[in-house]
Structure 1
Amino acid sequence: MAHDAELAAEHEPEAIRERLAATRRHSYLGDAVLGGIDGCVTTFAVVAGTVGGGFSDAVALVLGLANLIADGFSMAVSNYQNAQSQREALLDTRRTEERHIAAVPEGEREEVRQLFAAKGFTGEALEEIVRVITQDRQLWVNTMLTEEHGLALEGPKPLRAALATFAAFLLVGALPLLPFLLPGLERSETFALSAGVTGLAFFGIGAAKGWVVGRPLLRAGVQTLLLGGAAAALAYLVGYWLRTTFGI
């Protein structure tokens, strides 16, 4: 009964209005989650490679920190460019639709008619939908963007997307390096602690990713833990192989 009451409350007109408005806004949590996963994987891979190669803790810390900043900045720039490209594509398509509506309005009305006919509308109901949409130029263009081209009207802001990615990359990616700052630990203890912290971070960020995309949290966390662990193990084995084979 409590679940039914909660479900009913979520479907009140005001609750629906707020939920639909929220879904139209871009969430930067996904950018942060992906940045955190990549930061943790790449940084610990560097740490594992240096440890496997027999390098000192200082080398692992320097290389890990250098990779953390450089790779994080690179990923943030890439995300900025991706978000900028999405905004430019949306703007270009909007301009194209505005030109088409001005040049061939009847053809564009027919496109609206066929789009909604494909959804099952017919007869007077279909014609009323076409009339309502095409009497408002902005609504008309927005409908073509979403229904014909499948574009979101509210894309990510490039700078915010880049900052969310960079901040998460630095914060989560720094975790594997923290044990190397602790004094008085043996090499094996430092690496084991780094691996443990990284494993928890892998699971936590994977669970967060699962929450973002609507997947089971446990499965998403374990999957990211396994993938991140595989990347780290590969880096360790490469470092170990180079050290034993070539005496690096």
Structure 2
Amino acid sequence: MTVLSVNLNKIAVLRNSRGHDQPDMATAARVCMDAGCGGITVHPRPDQRHVRPDDVRRLAAQTRGRVEFNIEGNPFAGPREGYPGFLELVREARPTQVTLVPDSDEQITSDHGFDLRSDIERLKPALDAIHAAGARCSLFIDAGHDDDEGFARAAEAGVARVEIYTGPYADAFAAGKPQVELERCAQTARRAHAAGLAVNAGHDLSQANLGAFKQAIPGLAEVSIGHALIGEALYAGLDATVRRYLDILR
């Protein structure tokens, strides 16, 4: 079955808005794991707008031996006050998976992926560091990526997976015209699979649009869902919402 990895960034946003320790990240992770999710995802940005380095360290210990732990971020993000640098945080946490995303401080959220042909060479040192930490590597890419040579280069460099950016699909689904974007995602998945890469997906996936996406992408390894899931949980509860996503994935 496709793994559901719950992104806890929005729990941290709510906590940080008050400046104390509630809601508690560890409790949220425990509820999600008890409900049956297969992974926990965090995206620790250098500006610490939501998940902080100490959250990453605690969640790494909490998830170890129970579910997969996935850290997202920009591999070129260096150290600054209170933040050790992305790759150093990976070395400390030793997650199951590291998802590399070409984001910047100015972005509200991730909105584009890597170009595999032009970016693989400069990513190689980061890939080596991630492998040394015992993690597999996934690269965030745009739907419609049609460069077979790029996929092959990524596989040769040790990339294990790609994560398809599903924001445009979610927008098209909300507009009632999902088919073109859905096919772009499906084509990208087929090319990745042909190169020996597993396929993850994430960004703005929700209970409404996940079923159609899952059906269109055979062999989908993992979905990382946070913003919609946490929003829906405000009404139905976190445990019930995670279980509903798992039902859709089945």
TM-score, normalised with respect to structure 1: 0.22
Considering fraction of residues, name the structure with more helix.
1
Q: Highest relative contact order (Cα 8 Å, sep 6+), 1 or 2?
A: 1
Q: Which structure has the bigger radius of gyration?
A: 1
